[in-house]
Amino acid sequence: MNNYQNSLPSPEQRVIDLLSRMSIEEKIGQMMQISYNQVTRDEAEDWVTKRHAGSFLHALGDDAKHLQELSKSTRLGIPIIFGIDAIHGHALHNGATVFPSQLSISCSWNEKLIEEAGRVTAREAAADGLHWTFSPVLCVGRDLRWGRINETFGEDPYLIGVLASAIIKGYQGKSLSDSDSILACAKHYLAYGESIGGRDSYDTEVSLRKIRETFLPPFKMAVDAGCATIMAGYESIDGTPVSASKKLLRDILKDELGFNGFVVTDWNNTGSLVYNQKVAGDMDCAAKKVIEAGNDMIMNTNKFYDSAVKLVKEGIIPEAMIDEAVKRVLFIKFSMGLFDEKRQAETAKMAHVFNCAEHEDVNLRITRESIVLLENKKNALPLGNGVRRIAVIGPNADDIKAQFGDWTFFSHPDPKPDTVPLAPTYTMLAGIKELSEKIGIEVLYHQGCDIMDTKVQDIKGALDVANKADVVIAVIGDCLAQNGEGKDRADLNLSGAQQRLLEELKNSGKPLIVILVNGKPLSVPWVANNADAVLETFNSGALGGKAAAEIIFGEINPSGKLSISFPYHTGQLPVYYNQLPGWHGGKYMDMPEEPVYSFGYGLSYTSFKYSNLTLSQTSCSESDIIHVCVDLTNTGEIDGAETVQIYVNDIVSSVVTPIKQLKGFKKILIKKGETKTVDMPLRISDLYIVTPDEEYVVEPGEFTIMVGSSSMDKDLLKASLTVK
């Protein structure tokens, strides 16, 4: 048997042997990722048999199986890697578990559960013959106009890095060679979410210093967590498209951070250099740029193949440069055991895993923890004994598409908006009805209005329903058409007739509970001021309605905390908490300085008291790890979970640094009346600044350490620390 086909030698040895047998066409083929739904079946087969494509995306189940069989029959039999956007669950496959969106689960601040969700997604995608998910998104969600905020873990680089590392661990499992492990893909490298005006895939005006301070840290954490692949974003940074940036891909990602997996471009990034961004005159020039910059796999630019072969044959690109890319791709294929029968046989046995009871249980637990209680005036929630009849009103009360959000079979790869979900789902209405029936409460329903179309409304009808009930639950927000790639919004107010509907409902004089079902924070100060209680659910997936109902009726005590801040007005953006101190720069004359709701904020049905903040050392050096301790007491009437957050401020630094930055957190369950001392490590080397020369330096001096329940000053205890 040829060496590379023998499973005993190491992946490295097998790569060397296989590479030595490959023609230049076979090598370039390994760099190709073909989009299955952009080619005919015959073309797809040709890509396997004649041009040796290394990867496909969006081919599922039997289609993937068929192509894999074909690849085995080729001269070298190199298996294909199949990739999918399993973004919140393996949700492009109807019947699989649909988790809440990434933004939603980030509000759980629960790494353990997020890792479990990653595991579930991996098992279900792997059972479908897939090897790779283009997840997680590590973009820092700061301009809320951007259409892809729903895909982020929120606005803070540290929280993003911690949660990303957890889900990567979940996807990749104990070993890549396990039959239920899939490759993670940290994306979109780099600063994609920071594009000017929140306009998707546009230019980003950030310096390398800022990149190192704010946007690179989550990617560093992902690399350290062993993330196998990284996707280069669509955007340009200060005029250079990321896919054409040797500095970002080779110098920083591969050489400096030591990333040893492979880099895939985003969708047709190579073509975009010619047709959209116009930094290349033709495909040969674009191909040269992306190879030289350090991209290892080319997503959906099929013309790259001919250009790359030509560039090598003409001596313009050295073959050694292609070898470097192909080695990375093959190394992952060997590490995953794709050449070995064992993985294939085991995968075939896993068909029963889709939304199985164990997976549904993980989904329910994470959904419960992801919902954030934003308002609860006079303890309007949980609903009390006096309630006999509830009116559930609003365009998102019974809309599973709005609740699922982006990246499910409703929207990708070819949108199927009329599909009926195969696995059980609970809209808000369904969840409230099920629990209400159990306790003998009647539920009335009216849609009230449409999200987008101002002509589709029956506010009078909705009011008639409201008038018959003891309490109104208004379910409002946004819809699929307002979230996702290229769906940036200039206006974050409630669209359609939703605001009018709310105002009329308020005028009815009934207690008003608002449930927000939305991709991302909207500008809803009226809701904050006027609703008796507000639950933020974002895109809560299949079980959102069940979990929200459990919270409404007090079966579950909410514990979610916002991972992203809410503005008073679109013109107030950006409102992220970790602002820079400035002269007059902090505030508009016609807006408050603070956001409506700040990062880290979220209420509980119980109350917590923080006391006795102590540091194990108040004077330390850069190599120390100190302990930050605080006493936390549950002072309310029921058990609850609280997320204790540590923020740091460098009081005087040689460059302007944020007024506070999250550096640690811990979510703990605490029984009523109980006090726990919470002990959290703080690594002093994490208190670095980035200098104008792009150096990382911990500057001696005073720091303020802040600990509490949110990023707002009023919620934080403070202590002083000196770094020598």
In terms of CB distance, is 57 or 391 closer to ligand NOJ? 57
Check: CB of residue 151 under 8 Å from CB of residue 107: no
What whole-number distance in Å separates Cα of residue 295 and Cα of residue 214?
23
In terms of CB distance, is 115 or 485 closer to ligand NOJ? 485
Contact flags string 476-495 toward ligand NOJ, x per CB under 6 A: ---------x----------
Find out whether the peptide bond into 574 is cis, omega within 30 degrees of 0.
yes
* 65-70 LR contacts (CB < 8 Å, sep 24+): 65/129, 68/129, 70/45
What whole-number distance in Å separates Cα of residue 449 and Cα of residue 497?
6
Taking phi over 0 as left and psi of -120 to 50 as alpha, with beta for the rest, 496 belongs to: left
In terms of CB distance, is 57 or 441 closer to ligand NOJ? 57
What whole-number distance in Å separates Cα of residue 22 and Cα of residue 230?
25
In terms of CB distance, is 187 or 510 closer to ligand NOJ? 187
Enclosing H/E stretch for 235: none
The nearest distance, CB 414 to ligand NOJ, in angstroms, is 12
The nearest distance, CB 138 to ligand NOJ, in angstroms, is 11
For tokens 């969106």, what's the residue? 101
The nearest distance, CB 244 to ligand NOJ, in angstroms, is 17
Check: CB of residue 292 under 8 Å from CB of residue 321: yes
**Residue 82 binding ligand NOJ, by CB under 6 A:** no
Contact flags string 152-191 toward ligand NOJ, x per CB under 6 A: -----------------------------------x----
In terms of CB distance, is 35 or 661 closer to ligand NOJ? 35
For tokens 């780099």, what's the residue? 190
The nearest distance, CB 485 to ligand NOJ, in angstroms, is 6
Closest CA to 2 of 330, 10, 14: 14
Check: CB of residue 288 under 8 Å from CB of residue 317: yes
The nearest distance, CB 38 to ligand NOJ, in angstroms, is 11
Taking phi over 0 as left and psi of -120 to 50 as alpha, with beta for the rest, 709 belongs to: alpha
Sign of the torsion angle spanned by Cα atoms 298, 304, 306, 307:
negative
Who's near 566: CB < 8 A, 6+ residues apart?
521, 522, 523, 524, 528, 575, 595, 596, 597
Residue of 26, 85, 124, 488 interacting with ligand NOJ (CB under 6 A): 85
In terms of CB distance, is 88 or 561 closer to ligand NOJ? 88
What whole-number distance in Å separates Cα of residue 390 and Cα of residue 436?
9
Residue of 4, 47, 82, 134 interacting with ligand NOJ (CB under 6 A): 134
What whole-number distance in Å separates Cα of residue 317 and Cα of residue 30?
16
Closest CA to 127 of 99, 105, 151, 95: 95
| CB-neighbour burial class of residue 355 (10 A; exposed 0-12, middle 13-18, buried 19+) | buried
Catalytic residue among 128, 156, 200, 266: 266
**Residue 267 binding ligand NOJ, by CB under 6 A:** yes
Q: How many residues line the site for ligand NOJ (CB under 6 A)? A: 7
**Residue 409 binding ligand NOJ, by CB under 6 A:** no
Closest CA to 125 of 165, 173, 91, 164: 91
In terms of CB distance, is 134 or 189 closer to ligand NOJ? 134
Contact flags string 11-50 toward ligand NOJ, x per CB under 6 A: ----------------------------------------
In terms of CB distance, is 37 or 621 closer to ligand NOJ? 37
Please report, as residue ranges, which positions from 273 to 302 form the binding site for ligand NOJ (by CB under 6 A).
Answer: none
For tokens 């301009």, what's the residue? 143
The nearest distance, CB 435 to ligand NOJ, in angstroms, is 36
The nearest distance, CB 232 to ligand NOJ, in angstroms, is 10
Enclosing H/E stretch for 291: helix 283-293
Q: Which residue is nearest to ligand NOJ (CB)?
A: 134
Tokens for 362? 């993980």
Which residues are bridge partners to 603 per DSSP? 373
In terms of CB distance, is 188 or 660 closer to ligand NOJ? 188
In terms of CB distance, is 134 or 601 closer to ligand NOJ? 134
Contact flags string 45-64 toward ligand NOJ, x per CB under 6 A: ------------x-------
The nearest distance, CB 407 to ligand NOJ, in angstroms, is 9
Who's near 371: CB < 8 A, 6+ residues apart?
107, 535, 536, 537, 540, 544, 547, 548, 551, 558, 560
Find out whether the peptide bond into 382 is cis, omega within 30 degrees of 0.
yes
For the question of residue 266 being annotated catalytic, the response is yes
Tokens for 355? 């939304």
The nearest distance, CB 682 to ligand NOJ, in angstroms, is 34
The nearest distance, CB 312 to ligand NOJ, in angstroms, is 27
Please report, as residue ranges, which positions from 185 to 204 form the binding site for ligand NOJ (by CB under 6 A).
Answer: 187
What CA–CA distances, in Å, run from 15 to 20, 30, 50?
Answer: 9, 13, 21
Please report, as residue ranges, which positions from 511 to 530 form the binding site for ligand NOJ (by CB under 6 A).
Answer: none
What whole-number distance in Å separates Cα of residue 215 and Cα of residue 529?
34
Residue of 266, 375, 399, 532 interacting with ligand NOJ (CB under 6 A): 266
**Annotated catalytic sites, by residue?**
266
Which residues form the interface with ligand NOJ (CB under 6 A)? 57, 85, 134, 187, 266-267, 485
